[in-house]
């Protein structure tokens, strides 16, 4: 984090040296100076508009048409696609699936908070534990999908491990049973992302100076008191942020279920369905409406987050 903290600049700006030069050169230079910043922002703005704003605008437009992605004509259908998103049972199911991931993200944060707390105090091999807990976050999503397909196949590592510790009654058809599949996939998601939450919490806890803990200990505070009154307040903003990101995150799940099950057996997520509608079923209109709904949810959630979690960061202006 230290990397990112901008040093405060002394107030009062130095006078532009070119302004002091007399005569015509000044105006010539001035004129050129006026163009310079535009030259520097030109490429970033062109890319930004082409690949973010044009698609967003088009998406709104497609969402009120019946376009199939190829046809020259796009017929206006009003809000029919939006009605479909919220009434068609297959479309509604994806919202239910996202609840599994939302639930899982709470488990994930609780685990991350627990490990961040115990690793903030004196522990042997601290860096080793930290590395092991964080590393899955860096692994390629395709690799994770394949690792777990291998791990949970019938008679695979998970079943054998459960058998070895006498828990064979727990063994299920991890991706074969529609009742179980979303728990399995959500658990893989916890395995993958817990490390990021953990490292972020760890960083926030580290921002409390060590002397404060020592002072608290002298005052007779036990570990729970320290957690409750020192650690929790320090990490409140980042926990709040994570909670809120979990909502949009659980709707944006794509990689793990797509790679492991292709969205089959009742594991289809919002994004998988959007992609399938757009690129397999040629329903670009409907897919765009779904994307607009997701975008709207993300924007609302971000707006709530900005209102609830006070902005600590320096803004760009």
Q: Please, which of residues 262-291 interact with another protein by CB under 8 A?
A: 271, 274-275, 278-279, 284, 287-288, 291
Q: Enumerate residues 73-92 that contact another protein by CB under 8 A.
A: none
**Residue of 19, 138, 165, 218 interacting with another protein (CB under 8 A):** 138
C-alpha angle with apex 192: 191 to 195, nearest 5 degrees?
A: 90
Q: Enumerate residues 15-54 that contact another protein by CB under 8 A.
A: 17-18, 33-34, 36-38, 40-41, 43-45, 47-54
Pick the piece of the chain touching another protein (CB under 8 A) from 73-81, 88-96, 146-154, 170-178. Answer: 146-154
- Under DSSP, the state recorded for 50 is I
**Binding mask of the shown chain, residues 159 to 198, with x at each position contacting another protein by CB under 8 A:** -xx--x--------------------------x----x--
Compute the distance between CA of residue 111 and CA of residue 120 in angstroms, rounded to an integer. 14
The neighbour count for residue 75, using CB atoms within 10 Å, is 10
Residue number with CB closer to another protein (23 or 37): 37
The answer to whether 115 contacts another protein (rule: CB under 8 A) is yes
**Residue of 26, 80, 241, 244 interacting with another protein (CB under 8 A):** 241
- Dihedrals phi, psi of 65, to nearest 5 degrees: -125, 175
Residue number with CB closer to another protein (181 or 253): 253
The neighbour count for residue 269, using CB atoms within 10 Å, is 27
Q: Least distance in Å: CB of 176 to another protein?
A: 17
**Residue of 95, 103, 156, 162 interacting with another protein (CB under 8 A):** 156
Q: Enumerate residues 211-230 that contact another protein by CB under 8 A.
A: 223
201-212 as b/e: b if 16+ CB within 10 A = bbebbeebeeee
Pick the piece of the chain touching another protein (CB under 8 A) from 72-80, 92-100, 208-216, 248-256. Answer: 248-256
Residue 111 contacts residue 136 (beta carbons within 8 Å): no
CA distances from 79 to 57, 71, 85, 258, 270 (A): 16, 20, 10, 29, 19
- In 3D space, the residue among 199, 57, 52, 229 whose CA is nearest the CA of residue 134 turns out to be 199
**Residue of 69, 176, 178, 264 interacting with another protein (CB under 8 A):** 69
**Residue of 1, 19, 73, 218 interacting with another protein (CB under 8 A):** 1
Compute the distance between CA of residue 191 and CA of residue 170 in angstroms, rounded to an integer. 19
């Amino acid at each position: 984090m230290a990397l990112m903290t901008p040093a405060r600049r002394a107030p009062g700006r130095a006078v532009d040296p070119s302004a002091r030069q007399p005569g015509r050169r000044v105006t010539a230079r001035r004129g050129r100076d006026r163009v310079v910043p535009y030259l520097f922002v030109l490429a970033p703005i062109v890319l930004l508009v082409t690949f973010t704003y044009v698609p967003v605008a088009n998406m709104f437009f497609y969402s009120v048409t019946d376009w199939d992605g190829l046809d020259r004509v796009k017929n206006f259908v009003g809000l029919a696609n939006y009605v479909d998103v919220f009434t068609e049972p297959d479309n509604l199911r994806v919202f239910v699936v996202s609840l599994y991931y939302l639930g899982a993200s709470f488990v994930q944060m609780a685990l991350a908070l627990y490990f961040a707390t115990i690793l903030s105090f004196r522990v042997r091999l601290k860096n080793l534990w930290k590395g092991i807990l964080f590393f899955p976050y860096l692994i390629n999503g395709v690799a994770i999908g394949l690792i777990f397909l291998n791990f949970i196949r019938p008679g695979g590592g998970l079943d054998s491990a459960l058998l070895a510790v006498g828990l064979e009654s727990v063994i299920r058809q991890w991706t074969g049973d529609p009742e179980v599949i979303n728990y399995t996939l959500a658990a893989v998601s916890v395995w993958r992302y817990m490390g990021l939450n953990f490292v972020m919490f760890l960083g926030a806890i580290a921002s409390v100076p060590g002397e404060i803990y020592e002072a608290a200990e002298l005052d007779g505070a036990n570990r729970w008191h320290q957690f409750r009154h020192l650690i929790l307040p320090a990490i409140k903003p980042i926990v709040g942020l994570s909670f809120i990101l979990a909502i949009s995150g659980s709707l944006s799940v794509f990689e793990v279920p797509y790679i492991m099950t292709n969205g089959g057996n009742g594991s289809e997520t919002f994004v998988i369905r959007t992609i399938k509608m757009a690129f397999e079923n040629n329903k670009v209109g409907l897919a765009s409406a779904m994307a607009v709904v997701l975008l709207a949810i993300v924007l609302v959630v971000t707006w709530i987050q900005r209102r609830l979690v006070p902005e600590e960061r320096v803004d760009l202006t």
